[in-house]
Structure formats: structure tokens, C-alpha cells
Structure 1
Amino acid sequence: MAADSIWHYQFRIIMLGDSTVGKSSLLKRYAEGVFQESMSQTVGVDFYVHFLEIKPGLHIKLQFWDTAGQERFRSVTRSYYRNSAGAVLMFDLTNRASFESIKKWHQEVMETVKPYHVVFVLVGHKSDLKDECKVEQKEAEKLASSLGAKYIETSAKTSQNVEEAFQILTLAIYEALESGKMRPNEQWDGIKCKLPPEAQLKIQEERRQKKCSC
């Protein structure tokens, strides 16, 4: 689906992690279906868009903010945290230091987004380089659990789990929307809704019925 007008919800997602962990290559593989062996470092913030049908007839526009990992751009990238519905916390499986930086990235977001809710997914990238891996899966899963996130390992080079990583995050955002943890707001751009008013009322009624049946 290429037409920008055909979507019901727009979710803004921010890509976070140290420089050279592969944020841009993962996004390029997902959004454009290509892998570039060598990509120039992101300066400030780049933007990508992808469309996804998460259930029959329900189309989501994913708007990605691909942020620079270098410290000198941090003041620029921080300004994008608040208007994000989801965040990909990403590290390089062959780079131990990038894994140890994840808590810092998570903390920065949490300190900035209040009172809004952000959904996280932890991504260990470059899974094709198994012989060079410096982070065990169980250790990464433990960190993800402590951050209230799911963990998945990906490779932009081989396409392993690329679709799955963003599917996990998109569904988690939608579940937060359905449960009432997140909702469209005129003062917040993390989620935008194009559903007609009657459809929105139907969803709200379904939410109320779910709460009553608990």
C-alpha cells in the first residue's frame, strides 16, 4: 500500500542506540526492502515511512525517526522523544558497550516523555555475526524484562526477524491503545487517528465492555 491517504492510525516510532549499531540499515531493510553494506552516519534525524495492516481492514502508518547516536546530536534527538508512541532500543550484538548503553537511552526517554506512555522493544542487531557475539540472549532478555520490553535479535543483512521486530512493536502500541494506556491527543503527535467518529465510538464501547467483563 503506497497511498499516504489510506491509513487509520499513525504511530510515531523513534530509533535509539549508540552510533553504528545499525539503526539506519535496519530501517532501510524494513521500509525499502534493501540492504546497504556501507551507510553514512545519521546526522541529527532521518525519516522513514512504512504501512502495515495489523488486522483485516486496519491500516497503520508507521512514521520512523532515525536518530543519530553521537553525543553531539543528543540535544536534537531528545526533542523527538516526547512525540513518540514507540521506541526501538537497539544495540550491536558484537559490541558490548552498545548493550551497556541501553539503560541510559531508556532512562533519557522516560525522563522526557512524562506524562505520556511509550512502548519499547529491545533489538539485538547483527545476528548474522554469531562468531563475534558479545551478548548472550538470556542476558538481553533479562534486561528487556526489567525495562518492560520484549527482546528480539535481527539482521538487516539476512533479513532475519526484521519484519517481526516492527510487528511486535506495532501490535504492542495498538494493544496499549485498545487498553486505554495510550490515546490520540491534540497536544501529542505520537498517535494520530483517521477513523470516522462512529468507528472511534465503537472502539471505545468495546473497551468499556472488556473492562466490565474482567
Structure 2
Amino acid sequence: MREEEVETAIKVVVVGNGAVGKSSMIQRYCKGIFTKDYKKTIGVDFLERQIEVNGEDVRLMLWDTAGQEEFDAITKAYYRGAQACVVAYSIVDRDSFEAVEEWKKKVNEEVGEIATVLVQNKIDLVDEAVVTAEEAEEQATRLNLKFYKTSVKDNTYVDDVFRFLAERYLAEVNSTTDEGTTQKIGSTSFFTTSNSTHTKRPDKKDTIVLHPSKRRTHGKKNLFSKCVIL
């Protein structure tokens, strides 16, 4: 009998103001295409891609959430169960830059501290930038987030964003498993060093432990036929 294959599935939510390039980012990453025509996401959209990380099959399930306030009640429900997050803003949209901390807070309120990166998109429009390099770096440092400058149009560093999230998440989980101890999750030390440990959230009494989702493929690696959010 053929041994069943098991792969890891990681739910990633992509958040940020409207028109910063969230939909274009996951389209570029999952389908390799780019369109400059902007269409507002209504609620949420979903795409997925399988990659290999250190010899392990990983399926990234990417949830593109609407950036408009009127969809907050809908999109918050889709944050639940997320194991990684991309907070995105546009280099030519000052409001989206200033909203970054609030987007991070919204996700953390639903799922606690998870692997998160900060993405400054549309760097191909650097001549029109309304955010300085110093401001961008200061914000990333203050929020303690790994920082990427991307151009979805030119496909600059898009793959790096999602590979980093997969590697970071698996490294944390594997470290917990190898040590046989429970690592706590907190906001103060997640991305400081490669061997950092988590601290407890001040508003929670119980320790939260992240474990990647596993699914049996029975030798097949087709896309999911459906996805259910619990």
C-alpha cells in the first residue's frame, strides 16, 4: 500500500486599506498574473499555493480581505484560525500607511499574536511616494515586524513575503515540538532574533500554542474542493 502523504496547511490573512494591492499580491503569487485594473474586494477572496519548505510540503491558504470599513463585520470572522498575516500599505497612499497599526490590532484581537509581516507595496512608484524611507523603517521597528518593500507589478519580493511567513511559522512550531516545551505567544519578542521565545499576552491567562494544520492527500495534491471556516 502506498503511504499516505501529509502536508501542512497554513492560513494567511492579507489585510490593509483598499487599493493597496492586496488582491493583486495574492493573484501574482498564486497565479503569476498582474492586472492594473482595480476591483474592490467584496468581503473576502481566497486563493492557495503549495510550496516546499525545507523538504516539507506546505499549502498556503491566502485570504484577501476587503479594506473598506463597511466590511469589517464580515472580514473579522475570517481572521479566526489564521496562523500568519500580511499587513500591507501603499507607498503612494498616506492613509493606508497610517492605518497599519489599526489593521494589526484588528487581527490580534481575533487571533492573538501570529507570524506577521509588514509590506510596503508599489515601490515601482517611488517617485510619487508620500511615505519616507525613515518613516517606513521606524514603523516596522516600532511594531516589531519583518519589513518588505514590494512591487506586485514588477513581482519584486512578493514570493519572499510568503516564504518568510511559512518558514517562520514552521520554525516556531518545530522548535516547540523538538524542545518538548510550550512556547508562549506575545508581542514583544516574536521577530527580534532567530531564537527568540514568546511571552504571554497580558490579557490572557492560558498559554496559546500554534500547531500547523495537517491533511492527508492520499497521494494526490489537488486544490481543495471547498473550504470551511469554523
Partner Cα separation in structure 2 for residue 131 and residue 6 of structure 1 = 49
Letter in 2 for 1:65: W
Aligned counterpart in structure 2 of residue 140 of structure 1, from 136, 139, 145: 136
CA change 1:142–1:24 in 2 (3 A) is same
- Residues 129 and 78 of structure 1: is their aligned pair in 2 closer, same or farther, counting only changes over 3 Å? same
| Displacement after TM superposition at 1:131 (Å) | 0.3
Equivalent position SS for 1:8: strand
**Larger deviation: 75-84 or 139-148?**
139-148
SS at match of 1:124: strand
1:94 to 82, 88, 92: 92
TM-score (norm 1): 0.80
Q: Aligned-pair distance for 1:81?
A: 1.6
Task: Report the counterpart of residue 38 of structure 1 in structure 2.
Answer: 37
Maintained 8 Å contact 1:6/1:59: no
Contact 2:19 2:38 in 1 (8 A): no
Instruction: Please tell me whether the aligned partners of residues 173 and 210 of structure 2 are also in contact (alpha carbons under 8 angstroms).
Output: yes
Q: Secondary structure at the match of 2:40?
A: coil
Given candidates 89, 114, 119, the residue that maps to 1:118 is: 114
Name the residue aligned to 1:192.
Answer: 213
1:170 aligned partner: 166
Q: Which amino acid aligns with 1:9?
A: T
Conserved 8 A contact 2:88-2:100: yes
For 1:25 and 1:101, the matched residues in 2 are separated by: 19
Which structure's residues are more often helix, by fraction?
A: 1
Unpaired segments ≥5 residues, structure 2: 177-182, 184-208, 217-230
1:154 and 2:125 equivalent? Answer: no
The list of structure 1 runs, each at least 4 consecutive aligned residues, that deviate by more than 4 angstroms after superposition, is none
Give the drift of 1:179: 2.7
**Aligned-residue CA RMSD (Å):** 1.7
Q: 1:39 to 1:7 in 2, by over 3 A?
A: farther
CA distance in structure 2 between the partners assigned to 1:35 and 1:6 by the alignment: 33
Query: How far apart are the structure 1 equivalents of 2:138 and 2:173?
Result: 26
Distance 1:81 1:159, change over 3 A: same
**1:7, distance to aligned residue in structure 2 (A):** 5.4
The answer as to whether partners of 2:86 and 2:116 remain within 8 angstroms in 1 is: yes
What is the total number of aligned residue pairs between the two structures? 182
Unaligned runs of at least 5 residues, structure 1: 185-190, 196-214
